[in-house]
Structure 1
Amino acid sequence: MAPIELPTAVDVQLVKNLSSSLNDYDALVLVATDLNEITPYLDVAVTKHLQSFREVNSSFHDDITVSVHENVPGKRLVFSPTGPVNRDYDDVRRYSDATLAGVKKAIGIGAKAPLVASFGSTRYRQANLVTLLAALEATYVPLQVREEVPDRKTKVNKLGFFTGQASPDNEYDQRLIDYARAVEFGRAVGRDIGGADPERMAPPRVAEYVQELFGKSSGIKVNVIKDKKEFEKNYPLFAAVNRAASVVDRHHGRLIFLEYVGEGEINTTALFVGKGITFDTGGLDIKAGGHMAGMSYDKCGAANVTGFFKVLSELKPKQFKAIGVLAVARNNCGEEGYTGDEVITSRGGVRVRIGNTDAEGRMVMADPLCYIKELAVKEVNPHLFTMATLTGHVIRAYGSNYTAALDNGPARSAEISQKLQAAGDEVGDPFEISTVRREDYAFIADESETADVLQCNNLPSSGTSRGHQFPAAFLARVSGLDKHGLDSAQPLRYTHLDIAGSGGELPQSPTARPIPALCQMFIADRVLH
């Protein structure tokens, strides 16, 4: 087997003056809201050149302008406007959209070392970070292209980055670059695992990738469980989903455990479970009518948990601890498959009646969630999360660009979802907040004497009232987190993140969200200030 082509983040050089020698670059990409705001930073001839375009193009501040000019690097000049940023519905994504389009245009016309100029914003304090993250995103090359088409392994050789905004101190811009590159490392890992096809990232190969990624002096401990008997003993719901695939060695599931412990006295612990369904056929409740295509992206939850740990390995924030479990399995349809009406006892001792084998995501995560709950009671300031492309209903509710955050009682009292939403708004990684209600717990209560909990109804989530809320109740109830609510002597904060909308879909690469928001919430202040 060929060696794994692990991702890299392109080198970024800080440029302090657009009037200095820029011979190391071959394109200038200007990202701005209005030409007038950037003229103090530009060569006079370049300013006049762009002003002449503005005079004849009424859409100048809405469309990308590409031109040739002797006074810019490589003679390639790209003006990529954000458009208005001050309306009620505008947000910092105006900067990321403009930058992504501008850098892609520069690459498309042959640039290999574009210089991106960002001028900040009085309204959006992280506009420069958002701009740089978008520029880095434009340089990503998918894993299977890097491995199978070597001459397309890279899109650019380097980036330059200029900011026209005053910095808090002389070293801040360089720290910002280092931080953005680390976040992009993590996002590239998320895209690699989430976006690779079902064979390239079958469960054993996900484990190989993760072990290679963190195998050296990364600061991340990795442990992999693949024994079927251990699954059945300690993770019985995961084992049920894995049954049909386990008869094929290359599809047999893996539970992958990650741990990071920063230097100093720990003051915060984040614990994650990521859904890693490498391909979802629906199981015996098979996805018919063409709905199976794209289901290789059902592993983006586990992919993005891995990406978050990659950021930790790069930045090594102090006084912070993280524990992660990647629940990696393939939901196959076969004679060994788990079936509707089965009753399975979870790790937490809850008897679960299967209602729909296509609700496998909550199944593979519930026992690992119980496991991290057992750890959390001994950790300092713990925050528990599940991350999954879990329901079509969340897309029906919020559209395709938003992560839904659902808190249990202790997390809601601590306003965890509100803090995530605020962090995400700063970096263009937006959230919508949902609430788990009593109706959701009532929905999952099994009406028989045989089982405690009904796993799911047999309708699509998008056709079920509260179709993305009741799965969060299932996860809390089956893991035993419902015994650590507001009325508990030992409450635990738990937030479920449904990324079915925000995670991305084919043919585009996965978005690797919500890695930027999680980094903004847990890491940024530890390394940027």
Structure 2
Amino acid sequence: MGFPTAQVLDNYHAAMTGDFDAVIVVGDFAQDLPEDFADFIEQAAQLDKRVGKQALLVAAEVPGGRLILAPTGSLERDYDDVRVIAEAAGTGARIAQQAGSSKPLLVVFGVPQQARYGQAEAVAYWGACQALYEPLEAREALGEAELETVSSIGIVGALDARWLEAVEAGKRVARDLCGTEPERMAPPKFAEYCQQAFAHSPVRVTVIDDVQQLQHEYPLLMAVARASLGVERHLPCVVRLEYKAPQPEQTLLMAGKGIVYDTGGADVKTGGHMAGMSRDKGGAAGVAGFMKTVALMRPDTVSVVAELGVVRNSIGAEAFVADEIITGHSGVRVRIGNTDAEGRLLLADLLSHLRSEAHQYTNPQLFSVATLTGHAALAKGPYTALIPNGPARVNAITDNLWEAGEVYGDPSEISWSRREDFKFVAPRTKADDILSSNNGPSATTARGHQFPMAFLTIAAGLDKHGSDSNKPLPYVHVDIAGSGVEGGDWQHGKPTATPVASFAGCYLHR
């Protein structure tokens, strides 16, 4: 499986007969302590004033003799959320691993009876797994068994181990695909990883890698890929993932940005800003991760179809340049404003494909997921930005995703699409239908993460499916540029696997 399995127990006493070798206690130590550990904790506090203030290991009469105290601090303030439990559990899990534990038990206590903490134990397990995850390159070079030494994690609570593991499996796929360096995860190898991840599963994988077919069906994507065509190992592809529910009541149509390396193209990134651009495939990685959870949960009523555009934005004589006018799959003529605004181009073609077939599916909802703009990171910090169109707003899709993110530790914030965004990308002459971007960085552009959603709406033909149309299609653009890696460190930070948990919690868990 590659990550710690989940062993669910009804209470701590059941663990006494198990083979756990450490206990991690997570909670606010200023509140009533769990009865089974109160004496040990109080004795430790007499000797060490750090108890309850920082994570510590103390000797105690518990399985393995190791009691790890992982304080969360207050959980009652207006601005507190369940992520603090994930972080404390992760810190405790690392201490347990470093101490030699391979089968720790997680005990979460003192959680307020509030909706935002409704999945606290599940989030604690995922937080521990996040902390224990090691990069794919490291596992392949040094051996998975040598690095990931925790084989299972016990959790006390009313939980479903299958659900916990399905979400974590999806998160692991997302981390691997997002975080792996650009040669190991070049487009053909990205596709190969997906084929292996979904082998013998109900998810059908189709890899479109014929250059002529791609040029015909995905012209904007192939403009981005043009300078990479001379290098065989960098050749682009579209990875299509399909899960058909037995009794579909809803269909998610998802486009994922998979730029395996973004040099900026002809508008080359300078001043050290190219470092970390192997993670510009985080959107496609997150969609593939969610599909892994779908494959394991096999929902009866939710179908999912995803297209991932997997491309390298290279520099060279064949690179596309600003001022070019390229007709996309939708028939919309796009004037290139800046070649570093490449992700929206491939997303437009992917969304156009999904839009054109949406009528085949039951209750379709469209999503684009991407590490798209520095502005999203600046405006939202570590939160995913959700930008809905009119039908999505009417159907409360972003509200539901926001709520799921709060409960499952994968938070987001909602932005709105406005008339200024559509005016920003309007054509200046009749030579084209839309402008892809301005010339400046998104982070210094007013509404820099909102106006790309307007571009995508028009360039994908979704402007014909608004609330004022005969065939409205709900569409949400999901920008994970601020939330995709821990601490906003795109070169060294560990991928967060967003938005796997929020989508899984919203659409798969009832």
TM-score by length of 1: 0.92
The RMSD of aligned alpha carbons is 1.5
What secondary structure is seen at the aligned counterpart in 2 of 1:229?
helix
Alignment pair present for 1:514 and 2:496: no
What secondary structure is seen at the aligned counterpart in 1 of 2:156?
strand
Match of 1:154 in 2: 148
CA contact (8 A) 1:116 1:135 kept: no
Match of 1:204 in 2: 188
Deviation, structure 1 residue 18: 2.8
Match of 2:459 in 1: 478
Tell me, in whole angstroms, the C-alpha distance in 1 between the residues paired with 2:370 and 2:66.
42
Tell me, in whole angstroms, the C-alpha distance in 2 between the residues paired with 1:434 and 1:192.
29
Matched residue type, 2:423: A
Tell me, in whole angstroms, the C-alpha distance in 1 between the residues paired with 2:151 and 2:45.
32
CA contact (8 A) 1:198 1:278 kept: yes
Deviation, structure 1 residue 230: 1.1
Tell me, in whole angstroms, the C-alpha distance in 2 between the residues paired with 1:157 and 1:132.
13
Match of 1:488 in 2: 469
Picking from 138, 158, 162, the partner of 2:131 is 138
What secondary structure is seen at the aligned counterpart in 1 of 2:281?
helix
* Deviation digits for residues 95-148 of structure 1 (CA, Å, limit 9, x no counterpart): 111111111111122211111112354122111111121122233222112211
Tell me, in whole angstroms, the C-alpha distance in 1 between the residues paired with 2:10 and 2:458.
55
Tell me, in whole angstroms, the C-alpha distance in 1 between the residues paired with 2:433 and 2:448.
20
Deviation, structure 1 residue 438: 0.5
CA contact (8 A) 2:277 2:491 kept: no
Picking from 57, 69, 78, the partner of 1:66 is 57
Deviation, structure 1 residue 420: 0.8
Matched residue type, 1:219: P
Picking from 70, 88, 91, the partner of 1:98 is 88
Tell me, in whole angstroms, the C-alpha distance in 2 between the residues paired with 1:447 and 1:108.
61
CA contact (8 A) 1:377 1:490 kept: no
CA contact (8 A) 1:273 1:387 kept: yes
Deviation, structure 1 residue 57: 4.9
Alignment pair present for 1:29 and 2:24: yes
Tell me, in whole angstroms, the C-alpha distance in 2 between the residues paired with 1:381 and 1:362.
25
What secondary structure is seen at the aligned counterpart in 2 of 1:305?
helix
Match of 1:4 in 2: none
Picking from 280, 292, 296, the partner of 2:278 is 296
* Deviation digits for residues 211-247 of structure 1 (CA, Å, limit 9, x no counterpart): 111122x000111111111111111100100110111
Matched residue type, 2:41: L
Match of 1:497 in 2: 478
CA contact (8 A) 2:125 2:153 kept: no
CA contact (8 A) 2:90 2:132 kept: no
More deviation, 8-17/92-101? 8-17
Deviation, structure 1 residue 465: 0.7
CA contact (8 A) 1:121 1:127 kept: no
Deviation, structure 1 residue 62: 2.5
CA contact (8 A) 2:6 2:164 kept: no
What secondary structure is seen at the aligned counterpart in 2 of 1:89?
coil
Gaps of 5+ in 1: 1-6, 168-172
Tell me, in whole angstroms, the C-alpha distance in 2 between the residues paired with 1:18 and 1:352.
61
What secondary structure is seen at the aligned counterpart in 2 of 1:435?
coil
Gaps of 5+ in 2: none
Tell me, in whole angstroms, the C-alpha distance in 2 between the residues paired with 1:454 and 1:159.
51
* Deviation digits for residues 243-298 of structure 1 (CA, Å, limit 9, x no counterpart): 101110100101011100122x2101101000000000000000011000000000
Match of 2:376 in 1: 394
Tell me, in whole angstroms, the C-alpha distance in 1 between the residues paired with 2:509 and 2:450.
30
Deviation, structure 1 residue 36: 5.2
Matched residue type, 1:204: P
CA contact (8 A) 1:429 1:516 kept: yes
Tell me, in whole angstroms, the C-alpha distance in 2 between the residues paired with 1:213 and 1:19.
37
Tell me, in whole angstroms, the C-alpha distance in 2 between the residues paired with 1:483 and 1:17.
55
Tell me, in whole angstroms, the C-alpha distance in 2 between the residues paired with 1:204 and 1:497.
25
Tell me, in whole angstroms, the C-alpha distance in 2 between the residues paired with 1:194 and 1:36.
39
Match of 2:44 in 1: 53
